[in-house]
Amino acid sequence: MKNSRHHEFEFTIPGDHPCLEGHFPDHPVVPAVVLLDQVLQGIDRAWKRQPRRLSQAKFVSPLLPDEPAQVSLELDADGIKFSARKGERLLFNGNFLLP
């Protein structure tokens, strides 16, 4: 879903993604940097904007390879709030500041 202030999208990191090697052996989880990169890509697709910096992020539950994550973005005057869920389970949330 997309409007001028709200955008939603889904992503999945495949089990053979190079970021998973060694993160963690026999129990891979998607690294936070990869999750944030997906959010930044979603922001670029929605609004063609590049945030200035990450003001806060909280990682609540791990995302496993091949699991879909649903991301919700909310644009306001100061920045972009984001949250990601797998079903009802919150994965992570936070805020990027805009220039």
Per-residue pLDDT at 35: 98
Exposed/middle/buried for 48, CB within 10 Å: 0-12, 13-18, 19+?
A: exposed
Distance (Å, whole) CA 1 – CA 17: 27
Per-residue pLDDT at 3: 61
Distance (Å, whole) CA 46 – CA 81: 13
pLDDT of 34 > 90? The answer is: yes
Per-residue pLDDT at 24: 87
pLDDT band for position 45 (50/70/90)? very high
pLDDT in tens, 77-91: 999 999 999 999 999
Query: Mind listing the domains of the chain with CATH numbers?
Result: 6-97 (3.10.129.10)
Rounded alpha-carbon distances, angstroms, from residue 38 to 26, 53, 84, 90? 24, 15, 10, 16
pLDDT of 1 > 50? The answer is: no
Q: Looking at the whole model, is its pTM more than 0.85?
A: yes
CB atoms inside a 10 Å sphere around CB 71: 22
pLDDT in tens, 7-28: 999 999 999 999 999 888 889 9
